[in-house]
Structure 1
Amino acid sequence: MTAVLAPSAAGLPVIGSLLDLQRDSLNAFLRAQRDHGDVVRFVAGPPGLRVEFYGVFSAEGTQQVLATDSVNFRKDNKFYLEVQESVGDGLLTSQDDDYVRQRRLVQPLFTRRRVDTYAATMCEEASAAVERWRTAPGQVVDLLAEATGLTLRTVSRILFGADVEAAVDVVRRSFPVVADYTRQRGFAPANLPRHWPTPGNRRAAAAQRELNDLCDEIIARRRDQPGGGTAVRGDDGIADLLGLLADATDGDGDRLSAGEVRDQVLLFLLAGHETTATSVAFALHLLARHPDAQAAAREEVDRVLGTRRPGADDLDALPYVTKVLKEAMRLYPAAPAIGRRAVADTEVDGYRVPAGANVFVSPWVTHRNPAYWDDPERFDPERFSPEAEAARPRYAWFPFGGGPRACIGQRFSMLESVLAVAIVLQAYELAAIDTDVSLSLGITLRAAGPLRCRLTAR
């Protein structure tokens, strides 16, 4: 192999980039790309606890890692192993034959036709949130907190049907504990064993048990009901997703075990509410900060919908709102970094990546790479006109990942996000209160403080 070793990010003696990554990893990644290029080696931690990993920031390199050479970049790095310990071996973390089997069984539940049947539930929850906001003190709401509550209720209803209230209470209480614990362990140079009775371990274990028990109890109750199936249909005749998962079979009669169903449910709870909440909240925040874009989006909503509630068939008729969501996901991707491990020595963008190396691609950085985006920090939904999208490399924008491990819920997230934003714009004009937003990197991207907005009813 003639490729050279990638340049190293600047750091301190002995501990390398450890402090920069702990203080502000997102800006550390951006500086590394700006100063060293599209493949950068990071070294963090003191001798004996040192971690080395490679950041790949070009669209072409990202495509290689996620798609064209995906067999060489596996999901068994430290972070995914911690996620697996916390939320089980679902589609996010499973590999090889297990992943292929799970994807084969689950994919039919996420076709466009199936996902579109959930539009009414999405709209009902968004409309209920809009009504609750009418009594908000001072007509001020925290967009991220509200969007998180909205998407949690939505995905819980779609997953659990009539069991939604118990599910929402448990998830709201327990999931943040599990998510924070997983993030801390995933990024720490070293960890104590999970079974040691430290306060943090005990608190996380209790939260994890509560989530597992919730899913196990509902699954068991469904399997004991008369009729032989586990799916429960709501008043609209739509079966809930948990039951469909439990009943799903392939052509050979294979089906998911109760434990596998639980693992998928926990994954969908995480991916189905935190990531979509980030997209909805930041889309509304950006519209609140940019009155011209807000006016353009509202004009489209008024013209297409008037005062009626939207549905799945309206998605293609709301292209500007869709552009707003895509631009929000460019600037604030819910998964700002995606990790892999190299199986064999390989070359990425002319640099050697050794076998066993931890590698990550970063929507946060690539979405700001000036090779693909003019004035990248500027909010401009027209970046996603059909002409502009066709002129860019495929992996210049990849908030849902890509390749064979691309997010199975992309249609679900985009549909829920566009419908929610449209319903909010029907009801309110938005004005941002918090304009400078600090961010934190957990399992997903989050605002470190409030994302407040003042509402004016239309």
Structure 2
Amino acid sequence: MASAQAARTGTSGGGRRGTEIPRLEGAPLLGSLADLKSDALGTYQRARHLHGDVVRITAGPPGLRTELHCVFSAEGAQQVLASQAANFRKDNALYQEVRVALGNGLLTSQDEDYLRQRRLVQPLFTKRRVDGYAEAVATETASALDAWDATPDGVVDVAQEMTALALRAVSRILFGADVDATADVVDRCFPVITAYAMRRGYSPVNLPRTWPTPGNKRAAASMDELYAVCDGIIAERRRITGAGEGDGQDLLSLLATASSADDGEFDATELRDQVLIFLLAGHETTATSLAFSLHLLARHPDLQDRARAEIAAVLGDRTPGAADLDRLPYLSQVLKEAMRLYPAAPVLGRRSVAAAEVDGHTIPAGADVIVAPWVTHRHPAYWPDPERFDPDRFTPEAEAARPRYAWLPFGGGPRACIGQHFSMLESVIALAMLLRAYEFEAVDTEISVVAGITLLTTGPARCRIRRLRA
């Protein structure tokens, strides 16, 4: 009861050490299974509102029941993801399914595999290296604007458009001239593969993947097609690199030649695993941030005008570059506030190795643990009037006054997203070019979303666009 009262008043929901973790009441037979399937994000929100910052949610029939230990406070998130990260591993069922579908890349690998991969990849994601990708982002954004100009003053679905833009941008950065050979395949195959992994990851019982069910066959066909395209490009890139041809500056070429005396280099399968993870994380996360930034600004024309005024003052008519990231602080605040309300990774799963104290409660060994940025980003202890869109929450002074893990769209701790700077760079450049060229007015005032591997829209996110400049 004390925990629920604290949650309602916006104070910490942590309990006293050793207190029992409260449980969200569910149906007698299936627990909260139906609620989680129909509205997982809303169920997590309700759990925090009713019971505080550490809550148990049970789902499934007796004998096949899963118990989730959900952690909603910034302090608890920091303990799970950072200070006690070694005790909370990516061993749950969903990560096992993602490993099968997309390989053992940076998102899914663990222990020495992960450390070796991170050491090999890290030099490719330094600020200086990432800043070099700005031109590719600007090129793809200009192409998207050219396509919009064919139907000026029309209506666009910003979720679909930003997914296409982000996919082409990351494909260009990864594959260089091979962007057209990959973007269409990824766009067609990824949704099938990720939806399949999600279904299996959250199902209490799964049929063997080798059984010829329609779902298994669709997923296998999509994986085969996606793998074949990636393997073909990787083989050709290694041939070109070995022959001394090409400039070798696309990310795939750099990955193919990454090596160290201690860690060796990536073999062909490891390269494909990294490419698949970069394609997934590199386009879906940025697309989410861009789409919701545009839609939120479309619903708040005064803030859209403020952002556009900053863009005009800083850029004029020139193409934005990496150096402009720090020169457009309000645009960065807009993006951060959009990522607060619509984090691309709304739910993060872990499994505990040993019993551990988290936010004053004992989480047992072997527990499935949920950290939910979607809920933490709406926690009234850190975010007054949390559903309101207010980019001024991210002034330097406001950020310094909040706990570090009150905002965690890129995760945190040793497994924090390696592409944080790239995501912000890509988003600021694209958003600046889009807002300078077009005015946005929301057609759909609300957008429905669900938690997949990343945050997914389930309906249209349409905006009416009006051309502002030639």
Same fold, TM exceeding 0.5? Answer: yes
1:175 aligns with 2:185: no
User: SS of the counterpart of 2:388?
Assistant: coil
**Displacement, 1:135?**
2.1
| Stretches of structure 2 lacking an aligned partner (at least 5 in a row) | 1-15
Which residue among 60, 78, 81 is the counterpart of 2:96?
A: 81
Q: 1:318 aligns with which of 328, 334, 342?
A: 328
Corresponding residue to 1:368 among 353, 378, 382:
378
Alignment partners' CA distance in 1, 2:82 and 2:17:
23
Matched residue of 1:5: which SS? coil
Partner Cα separation in structure 2 for residue 90 and residue 416 of structure 1: 22
Give the match for residue 409 of structure 1: 419
Paired with 1:114 and 1:42, the residues of 2 have a C-alpha distance of: 43
**Structure 1 segment 39-438 matched on structure 2, within 5 A:** 39-136=54-151, 139-225=154-240, 227-228=242-243, 232-233=246-247, 239-252=249-262, 254-438=264-448
Aligned-partner Cα distance in 1 for 2:205–2:20: 26
- Residue 450 of structure 1 aligns with an amino acid whose one-letter code is P
8 Å CA contact retained: 1:147, 1:277? yes
Q: Secondary structure at the match of 2:240?
A: coil
Give a deviation string over 1:272-321, Cα, whole Å, max 9, x none: 11111000000000000001110110000000001111000000000000
User: Shift of the alpha carbon at 1:132?
Assistant: 0.9
TM-score normalised by length of structure 2: 0.94
* Residue pair 2:344, 2:454 contacting (<8 A) in 1 also: yes
DSSP 3-state at the match of 2:156: strand
Q: Helix, strand or coil: the match of 1:243?
A: helix
Cα offsets for 1:334-353 (capped at 9, x unmatched): 00000000000111111111
TM-score by length of 1: 0.97
The residue identity in structure 1 corresponding to 2:265 is R
Deviation digits for residues 14-48 of structure 1 (CA, Å, limit 9, x no counterpart):
11111110110000000000000000001001112
Residues 138 and 429 in structure 2, CA contact (< 8 A), matched pair in contact too: yes
Q: Note the C-alpha offset of 1:166.
A: 1.0
CA–CA distance in 1 between the matches of 2:391 and 2:295?
14
**C-alpha separation in 2, matches of 1:253 and 1:27:** 44
Report the aligned-residue RMSD.
Answer: 1.3
Q: Distance in 2 between the 1:316 and 1:253 partners?
A: 35
Tell me the alpha carbon deviations over residues 361-419 of structure 1, each in whole angstroms, 9 at most, x when there is no partner. Answer: 01100000001000000000000000000000000000000000000010111100011
Give the CA deviation at 1:184. 1.2
Q: Which amino acid aligns with 2:249?
A: A
- Report the CA distance shift for 1:370/1:209 in structure 2 as closer, same or farther (over 3 A): same
Shift of 1:89: 0.0
Question: Separation in 1 of the partners of 2:124 and 2:184?
Answer: 25
The one-letter amino acid of 2:167's match is L
The count of corresponding residues between Structure 1 and Structure 2 is 453
1:225 alignment partner, SS class: helix
Which amino acid in 2 is paired with 1:116? D
* Counterpart Cα distance in 2 of 1:451 and 1:431: 11
Q: Give distance in 2, aligned partners of 1:378 and 1:449.
A: 21
Q: How many angstroms does 1:228 deviate by? A: 4.1
User: How far apart are the structure 2 equivalents of 1:187 and 1:232?
Assistant: 44
Report if aligned partners of 1:5, 1:353 keep a CA contact under 8 Å in 2.
no
Contact in 2 for aligned 1:89/1:260 (Cα 8 Å): yes
Could you tell me how far 1:161 is from its partner in structure 2? 1.0
Once the two structures are TM-superposed, the CA of residue 173 in structure 1 deviates from its matched residue by: 1.3
Please give the alpha-carbon distance, in whole angstroms, between the structure 1 residues aligned to 2:315 and 2:51: 49
1:92-125, Cα deviation, whole Å (9 max, x unpaired)? 0100000000000000001110000010000111
How much has 1:76 moved relative to structure 2? 1.0
Structure 1: runs of 5+ lacking an equivalent: none
Cα distance in 2 between the residues matched to 1:60 and 1:226: 47
In structure 2, the residue corresponding to 1:436 is in which secondary structure? coil
CA deviation map 1:172-209 (0-9, x unaligned)? 11111101111111122221111111110011011011
Q: CA deviation at 1:136?
A: 3.0
- The percent of aligned pairs where both chains have the same amino acid is 63
Measure the CA separation in 1 of the matches of 2:246 and 2:267. Answer: 18
